Amino acid sequence: MSNPLVGIIMGSDSDLDIMGSAAKTLEEFGVENEVRIISAHRTPAEMAEYAQQAASRGLKVIIAGAGGSAHLPGMTASDTDLPVIAVPVKRDHHGHEAIYSSIKMPPGIPLAVMPENGAKNAALLAIRILALGNPAIAEKYAAFVEKQRSEVINKDTQAQADWESLLK
């Protein structure tokens, strides 16, 4: 996209199955984004360049996903003043090293950490941040919240009706 507001970066294309839902959620809200494969370990210079240039390129938020040692989110947060949201990528053969790595940032370098594989929530948090200065995005987010609320209320109404019919 030409004017991305959110940069989604990940350590490997093998993270795409998890991180793709961040892009999908942003698309649903019409938020322009870009997806890049950037590794803290395999392409450290590119990681630094991306983080250092992100704000001047017009990005407002960075979502960074990585598994294992997962240095990408924290190191990116160290090299930009933009809000950075970490998505710890968790596979069956992993322990919880990625989330522990992200939540142990030193004082002075803030990093928002999502649940393991929480790429959708990362996108929603990015949308909330953007909504602070963008009424159109705020309106879409409010509609999303209302739709989610109605769906739960409808399920509750249905569950009560089903339960009552079971008792008869």
Q: Is 46 exposed, middle or buried (0-12, 13-18, 19+ CB in 10 A)?
A: middle
Residue 33: how many CB atoms within 10 A of its CB?
Answer: 22
Size of the site for ligand RP5 (CB under 6 A): 10
Helix ranges (H only) for the chain are 16-28, 44-54, 72-78, 97-103, 119-131, 135-167
Residues 6 or more apart whose CB falls under 8 angstroms from that of 163 comprise: none
118: contact with ligand RP5 by CB under 6 A: no
Query: Would you count residue 96 as binding ligand RP5 (CB under 6 A)?
Result: no
- Indicate which single residue of 7, 19, 31, 68 sits in contact with ligand RP5 (rule: CB under 6 A): 68
Taking phi first (over 0 means left), then psi (-120 to 50 degrees means alpha), and beta for anything else, what does residue 163 get?
A: alpha
Does residue 88 touch ligand RP5 according to CB under 6 A? no
**Distance between the two ends of the chain, CA-based, in angstroms?**
57
Which of 61, 63, 89, 126 touches ligand RP5 (CB under 6 A)? 89
CB of 69 to ligand RP5, least distance (A): 6
Considering only residues 25 to 44 of the shown chain, the ones binding ligand RP5 according to CB under 6 A are 39
Q: How far is the CB of 107 from ligand RP5 (least distance, A)?
A: 25
| Binding region for ligand RP5 (CB under 6 A) out of 6-14, 101-109, 112-120, 154-162 | 6-14
User: Contact, 69 vs 44, CB < 8 A?
Assistant: no
* Tokens (6 digits) for 153: 């209320």
Using CB under 6 A, pick the residue from 4, 67, 74, 118 that binds ligand RP5.
Answer: 67
Our finding on whether 62 is near ligand RP5 (CB under 6 A) is no
Q: Which residues bind ligand RP5 (CB under 6 A)?
A: 10-12, 14-15, 39, 66-68, 89
